[in-house]
Amino acid sequence: MASSSMPPALTRSNHGVEEAPNLEAMATPAVGNDSRDPEKSEAILATRPTTARTPSGKGDDALNILSDKIRHVTPEENKRVLRKIDRHVMPVLFIIYFLQFMDKQILALTSVFGIVRDAHLEDKQYSLIGSIAPVAQLLLQPLSAYLLVRFDVSIYIPILVICWGATLACMAAAQNFVGLLVSRFFLGGFETSTQAAFILIGQMFYKRQEQGLRLTIWFSNVGWVNIVGSLIMYAFGHITKGPLRHYQIVFILLGTLTTLCGVASFFVFPTNPVKSKFLTAEEKIIAVERLRANQQGVETKIFKFKQVLETLLDLKSWCWLSLLLLTAIPGAAINIFGPLIVRGFGYDGYDTMLFLVPYGALQIIAMALSYWLSTKTQYKSPLVIVFLIPCLIGMVILYTTGRDKEHQAALLVAYYLLACSSAVTPALLGWQAINTAGHTKKSSTTAMTIMGSYTGGIVGPLLFEPKDGPYYHSGILACIICYSGAAAIVILTAAYLFHLNKKNEVRRVKAGKDAMIIDYSMTSPDHVEEKDGQRHTIGRNAFEDLTDLQNDEFIYIL
């Protein structure tokens, strides 16, 4: 943007930061020097001509604190601010997602100790209760995408946490099919926005290279819940019969804990880097400049229907949806019926709970291995296929093997192979997140992707019925088909992203730029080679809320 838009009373610092003449003595301090007065530091930001920079009111929040000149962030500054962001953001996301997945998984864990019997569930009723939460999430996902753009996540998400915690606690009063069905519907509705919000927070705070690790950390609760939840149910299973059933005690305790955490999260839940109170004025500039190479912007509260339309017309949006649908069907089936499947190998309820502990550990290991391979290769598509293969092998063994006692070891190995599916979902979510730009498009694409996941969550449990045990042949065959189809769509998606990268190379040449540019968002500041000053020229439009298809500098990750 033209510098003529600046008021005459303002000058520029060496870092491109606009300052009032009487504040010249407060130029940016040396790296690591935090001695500057925070109040005066905020005064610098207050002098910025924000209305001149964003006359339409439709720009990114980042434009309110950035100057026209790109400010170079040193590796030391990058590490210092990244550590501070991690300390304030990641613990909150981890704890809340643990509680959400625990709330979601608790139905499957209680099934081993008789919730089907105690609630007098018949035929497909247990399957329907398992599917009703994602029904609510699917119906409310478009509204969720809108609300995530319009409202601060630091207020919106804590309210939802309180609501779903209270719902879970009240669920203890449900003692029949209708009561459990209604409770699970509201539980799913209040949990609708959490996953999308966390992906959005990752895009707002972290470089594309950094997002995979952070997503893996909070998503690893899929495994932690199987470990902790199984041990909790093992302990509660030894409680002698009292006025409350086992599942009612768990619902009350877990619901109360979730509600209390929701109240506490009002004080600590992060908003975007521009508005975060835990960052100083200078750190906010560094935090935002770190994201310039993402070409994804930070946040804007204007909901742009043109970006929604682009999402619907973008082939890769439908690829993400299809991939999450096909992988969520077997994933949801295993989440709801996994304990019953293991019990069908010939184990009692207590043994089943203990066997789920190493399964959870294997899920965490698979996700950690997935992240490590991702950082080594910088590719996502081969990684997804690598972890789909063990899932296919495990399902084939379960389909072809009997349920006699001599088969128990093989069946347990097959079931443990399915733990690799836990690495597929975060890899797909991360793959989608780093390949989408434009704030409304990020929100709507994530919503669309998660709608695929929720649809799979509805279909998966319906493919299995308690009466089909212990073999569950029809359900397992459907899972084999889903995993095979997902592998084929991964290849299609990678080919399309390759095509888009080649298309952008042609567009850059026509615009007078280099055909090949360095993707600084996927490189470490300590290990990057400057190419003809590209770092200081690429990314000038990074905070103009352009979509990935509009921005010829956007580089898609295969």
Q: HEC states along 263-301?
A: HHHCCCCCCCCCCCCCCCHHHHHHHHHCCHHHCCCCCCC
* Segments of the chain assigned to CATH 1.20.1250.20: 85-499
pLDDT average, residue stretch 218-222? 90
More confident of the two residues 530 and 85? 85
Mean pLDDT in residue range 510-526: 73
- What's the token pair of residue 463? 């493919």
The answer, yes or no, to whether the previous bond of 466 is cis (omega within 30 of 0) is no
Q: Report the run of H or E that residue 12 belongs to, with start and end.
A: strand 11-12
Residue percentage of the chain with pLDDT more than 90: 34
Residue with tokens 């293969």: 389
| pLDDT tens digits, one per residue of 232-276 | 877 776 665 667 777 788 889 999 999 999 999 999 998 888 888
Query: What integer is the mean pLDDT of 360-374?
Result: 91
pLDDT score of 321 more than 70 = yes
Instruction: Specify which of 207-221, 371-385, 482-496 reaches the highest per-range mean pLDDT.
Output: 482-496
What's the CATH number for 85-499?
1.20.1250.20
What is the spatial distance between Cα 327 and Cα 330, in angstroms, rounded to a whole number? 6
Distances (CA, A) of 160 to 189, 442, 541: 9, 21, 35
CB 462 within 8 A of CB 328: no
Q: Cα–chain-centroid distance for residue 551?
A: 24
Confidence of residue 211 (pLDDT cuts 50, 70, 90): confident
Q: Which of 181-185, 292-296, 509-513 has the lowest mean pLDDT?
A: 292-296
Maximum alpha-carbon separation in the chain? 85
Looking at the DSSP bridge assignments, the partners of residue 12 are 18
The pLDDT value given to residue 259: 95
Q: Which DSSP string corresponds to 314-374? A: -HHHHHHHHHHHHHHHHHHHHHHHHHHHHHTTT--HHHHHHHHHHHHHHHHHHHHHHHHHH
Average pLDDT, the chain: 80
- Could you tell me if 18 and 48 are in contact, meaning their C-beta atoms sit under 8 angstroms apart? yes
Residue 8 is predicted with a pLDDT of: 35
Buried b (16+ CB within 10 A) or exposed e, 372-387: ebbeeeeebbebbebb
Residue 301 pLDDT greater than 70, yes or no: no
Q: Can you read off the two tokens belonging to residue 225?
A: 């819940």
Query: Which pLDDT band, with edges at 50, 70 and 90, does 481 fall under?
Result: very high
> How confident is residue 517, by pLDDT bands cut at 50, 70 and 90?
confident
